[in-house]
Amino acid sequence: MAGIFDTLISGLRSRRVAPTKTLGAAGTAIYGGYIQENEQNSKLQGTEKYRTYSDILANTAIVAAGVRYFLNLVQKAEWSFNPAEDTPQAIELAELVEEMMNDMETPWSRAMRRAAMYKFYGFSVQEWTAKKRDDGKIGMFDIAPRAQQTIERWDVDSTGRVLGCVQKSPQTSEDIYLPRTKLLYLVDDSLNDSPEGLGIFRNIVDSVNRLARYEQLEGFGFESDLRGVPVGRAPYRRLQELVSDGSITEEDATAAARVIEDFIGKHIKNPQLGIVLDSAVYESTDDASTPSGQKQWDVDLLKGNSSGLSEVNAAIERVNHEIARLMGVEHLLLGQTRGTQALSEDKSHNFGMIVGSTLGELEESVNRDIIAPLCELNGWDPDLWPKAQTEEIQFKSPTEVTQALADLAKAMLDPEDPAINVIRKQLGLPDALVVNDMQDASLVTNTQDNAPASEPEGNDDVNDLEESSDPSND
C-alpha cells in the first residue's frame, strides 16, 4: 500500500504547475452558502451564536466595560487622508475624499466604531451607498451596518475568497444578496479561514457561563444565610394561662405580645427604631424558685457558621480576571485587587497594541473597500488615489514624553541619526526637523538678520501721534 502511495506522490511531484495557479482548498466547508460547523453547543450554531454573543455583551459587566473601552479608543483615533504624491492635483484629491467621508449620513467615527466590532463577533459587514453631489462628483451617502445575526449564507469561490453574502431581512424575511464590491468587510480570520472568523466572544462563552453560575450561587447563599435574622421571644403559654384563669383578657394578652411582634415585623433600621422589654426571667416551679438565665421577653439575632460566600466571591473574581485577560482589558481590574503602577502601564501598553492593530486593519479595509471604489466611480487616476491613515494610540503621560525628550537631548546624537525619529515615533511625536545643508542654514540666518528692528521708545512716529492727541498743542 505504501508503494502505491509513493508512486502516486512521485507522479504528482513530476507534474509542472503554473505558479499563477492555486492548488489548495479552503479549510472551511460551505455547502449552499451555509458554513458547516463542528460546534456541539446549539446556542453557538449558525446565526444563533450572534444572539448568544449579544446577550453576553448586554448582561456581563466586565465584557460590556471592556468592549466600550475598546470602541471608545477606536472612535477617538483621528483619521487623515494622505495624498499619493506632493502635487497640487493629488493634494486636492485627498482633501476632496476627506470632505466626502465627513459628509455622510452616519458620522465617519461611528461607522469605524461599528466596523471594529469584528474583533469580538468574528466579522462585521457594512454596506456603503454612493450619491451624486452638487458639484457633479460621486460622493459617499452612507456606510450602514448589517447585523451579524442577519447574515445567513456566504458566496465564496473555490479558494474560499468571499464574493458576497446573503442577508435575511428582519422586516420581510426576504433574502438580500450583498455583493462584496459594495461592502466594507472585516474578518478576524487569524485562527481559522471561515468567512465568519472567530471573534473574542467565542473564546469567553464558557467563562461567562461559569461566571453567571457562580453569581447565581452567591445570590442563593446570600438569600439563604440566616445570620442576622432577628429572633423574638415572649411567654405566650404564660399569657394564655393568665387569660384562662381570668387574670387578664384576651385583648390584654394580644396587646402585650403585639409590641415584640410589631418590632420583628418592622425591624429595618431607622431613627425611630427601638424596643423596651420586661427583664423578668423564668423561675423554677419548686420551693426554691431558682431563676434561669432565659428572659421571658427577649430579642436576639440568629447566629451561625460561615456559608462559604467568601469562596464563591473568590471564584467570581478569578473568572472576571480570566475574561478581562482574554479581552486584553485586565488593567481595568488592577485597582480592585492588587497591582503596581508599572504593571498597569505595561498592560495598558499591550491593550494599546491591540487597538493599534485593529486600526491598522481598518485602514487597509477602508483603502480597499471604500476609497478605491469611490475613486473608480469618479474615474480618477489610480496613481493619485489618497490613502487613509489613523494616528497611533499612545498611553504616555506628558511627564513621560518630556523626560524621554530630555534624555534624548542628553544623548548628544547626531541631528541626522535615524534613531531620533524612531524614538520620536514611539512617543507619538512627528519627525524632527533637520537643516540638511549650509544653504538652508544661511536662509534661516538671513531671515533672522533681515528682521526689522523693534522701534525704540520715544520714536518720531509715536511722538508725532502723542503730540497730535495732546489738547495743549492745538
The domain segmentation of the chain, as residue ranges, is 24-207+341-390, 230-301, 398-449
- Which pLDDT belongs to residue 380? 96
Longest CA pairwise span in the chain (Å): 129
Answer whether residue 468 shows pLDDT above 60. Answer: no
Q: What b/e string do you get for 171-198 counting C-beta neighbours within 10 Å, with b at 16 or more?
A: eeeeeeebeeeebbbbbbbeeeebbbbb
- Which pLDDT belongs to residue 60? 94
Summarised one tens digit per residue, pLDDT across range 267-323 is 777 777 777 888 888 877 666 667 787 888 888 887 766 666 788 888 999 999 999
Mean pLDDT of 436-446: 46
The H-or-E segment that residue 321 falls in is: helix 309-327
In the chain, the N- to C-terminal Cα span, in Å, equals: 125
Summarised one tens digit per residue, pLDDT across range 246-262 is 888 999 889 888 888 88
Cα separation, 435 vs 440, in Å, equals: 6
Q: Which residue has the higher pLDDT, 420 or 32?
A: 32
Sign of the CA dihedral with 140 first, then 143, 144, and 147 last: positive
Per DSSP, the three-state class of 34 is strand
Record the cell numbers describing residue 40, joined without a space: 456541539
What's this model's pTM, rounded to 2 decimal places? 0.71
Record the cell numbers describing residue 179, joined without a space: 455583493
Helix axes 61-76, 48-59, angle to 10 degrees: 90
Answer whether residue 158 shows pLDDT above 80. Answer: yes
Average pLDDT value over all residues in the chain = 83
- Which pLDDT belongs to residue 438? 44
Summarised one tens digit per residue, pLDDT across range 58-77 is 999 999 999 999 999 999 89
